Structure 1
Amino acid sequence: MPSSSIQWPGMRSEHHALPPSDRTTTTKADQVGVSFSQHTAAVRTVGGRSTKGDVAAGAVFVTGAHAIAWSEIGERTEAVEIYLDPALLPARPVGTALDVRDGVVLGAAHVLRRAHVTGGGLTDVAASTLAHRLARHLDEVYAPGGRRPRAPSGALDRRLVDRVAQFVDAHLQETLSLDRLAGVAALSPFHFARAFRAATGATPHQFVTARRIEAARARLLATQASVVDIAHGVGFSNLSHFRRVFRRELGMLPGDLRGQQDRTLS
């Protein structure tokens, strides 16, 4: 799956799918994005200072004015990088944030990732809305001295989005109804569904599906467990349904993903 770039109204998104490499790669400045891959002892250099550490799958990176140089990457890399148009960037400088949990950015990255890997698009209004939502989020959360985070009218507060995202990841194998997710945020199901989408760009159903498929993808690559066991382990009781959803979300079947990995390693 090659890297790709899409210019949307208000932003540009880049999707990168790279094999393990000892070459240095760079995440450019003024970017917010998500690593969908887990890495062990990766070296990252920011502003001339290098550190080595693990990267969790689903981790968010905000570069601000400083690019990130990556080296000693021993695993496959999949990431989505989002570059807002300069006119949307916060007036205050955005600080660098490495390997943080942020459900708002994660939800937006899932929406854009699916557009890249399946060829599906966003409408111009939807993409522009997502860009403005991310710009406001950067200003409130990552710009030093920013105003106290406050959800846009009708949107779920960032802390509640994070709480729901953590709950989803911890309970993927279980039944995750709208009522159950709304209960985590202490809202009515109707209000929760609208507010969650307003905050992340994804419906609760789309977010849960994306996290289940992402967990399945990671297990397919990291273990020899059967497709049936992996499907059941992330909440799919029907194998045919799992295969259909997997292909819809990632553009390939589970077996194709493992075959792709085998060809890369051979």
Structure 2
Amino acid sequence: MCDWPGMRSEYNWLPPAGSVTRTKPHQVGVSFTAHRGAVFGLPGRSSTADIRAGAVFVTGSEEIIWTEIGETAEALEIYPSDVLLRSMGGSGDAIAPAMAADDATVLAAASILRRAHLTGTPMSDMAASTVAHRLAGHLLERYAGIRQDRQRVGRLDAKTVDRVAEYVDARLGGQLTLDALAAVAALSPYHFARGFKATTGMAPHQFVTARRVDRARALLLGSSMSVAEIAHEVGLSNVRHFRQLFRRQLGVLPGELRKIRPSPVGPAV
């Protein structure tokens, strides 16, 4: 668990759940692993669904109850400060729940925090508070309908960010360029790069790298492919460079991950 200015984050790597587990209220979390046939929901309203890697869960005033998770789970939960939310015109109670949502802005924030957890490299107070403010404003706009006009200048709308993220995930094994991503957003490369960083906290190339490393992690733990094969599969044919990026993002080398956590964590998606 890490306490940051304006928020708290908890990183978890959990074995398959043989009993009921609960996600606490007033948090937003990302499942970095995929799950088939997961059973979860609000009290008295459970459902069964497949969860893709990178799915976002937002809890309002009620907890999420998980009764069946068949795979090892890697997740990061973020608890925004209610003091911060109130200073921005909202509160945790105003945020509506969302289950397995596509939300690239939250995914980017969680990826930044996960890297800090795994590498042991803490963020500065300024960097952490910037992530907290960006995330809180996004949550209030998207899940509480409270506009943050003062923060909109230079930012992309959520649908554009999600569309770019979908494009990236569909082409991780091929060539991804700033021009191509900017075209998806219907912006010039210059304005897209500035807007994407202002919205997510990650430059476009940093987001692409994080998504490639996530896909590589899933393949390492969910397949028998070699490290070189996986590097090629995620568009990083230089194996040495791939290993460096992997360790920079997750704190371990690809081969070390398989030794530390040898159990599959779900489908490589």
Return the TM-score normalized by structure 1. 0.92
Say yes or no: does 1:86 pair with 2:90.
no
Does 255-264 or 206-215 show the bigger shift? Answer: 255-264
Gap change, CA 1:41 and 1:240, over 3 Å in 2: same
Task: Give the structure 1 partner of residue 157 of structure 2.
Answer: 157
Q: Report the Cα distance in structure 2 between the residues aligned to 1:179 and 1:227, rounded to whole angstroms.
A: 29
Residues 1-266 of structure 1: matches in 2 within 5 Å? 5-89=1-85, 90-91=90-91, 93-143=94-144, 146-147=146-147, 152-262=152-262
SS at 1:33 equivalent: strand
Once superposed, what is the RMSD of the aligned Cα atoms? 2.0
Per-residue deviation, 1:149 = 9.1
Once the 2 structures are TM-superposed, how far is the Cα of residue 116 of structure 1 from its aligned partner?
A: 0.6
Give CA-to-partner distance per residue, 1:104-137, whole Å, 9 cap, x none: 1111111111011111222212211211111111
Distance 1:21 1:152, change over 3 A: same
Distance 1:120 1:211 in 2: 20
Q: In the superposition, relative to structure 1, how do residues 150 and 102 fare at CA in structure 2: closer, same or farther (>3 Å)?
A: farther
Please give the secondary structure, in 1, of the residue aligned with 2:262. helix
Q: Deviations over 1:170-217 (max 9, x none)?
A: 111112122221121122222211111110111111100000000011
Alignment gaps of 5+ in structure 2: none
Taking structure 2 as the reference length, the TM-score comes to: 0.91
Unaligned runs of 5+ in 1: none
Aligned length: 260
Deviates more, 1:53-62 or 1:129-138: 129-138
Separation in 2, partners of 1:218, 1:206:
19
Percent pairwise identity: 56
Tell me the distance in 1 between the aligned counterparts of 2:172 and 2:264.
Answer: 29
2:72/2:263 contact within 8 Å kept: no
Residue deviations 1:148-171, cap 9 Å, x none?
A: 999721111111110110011011
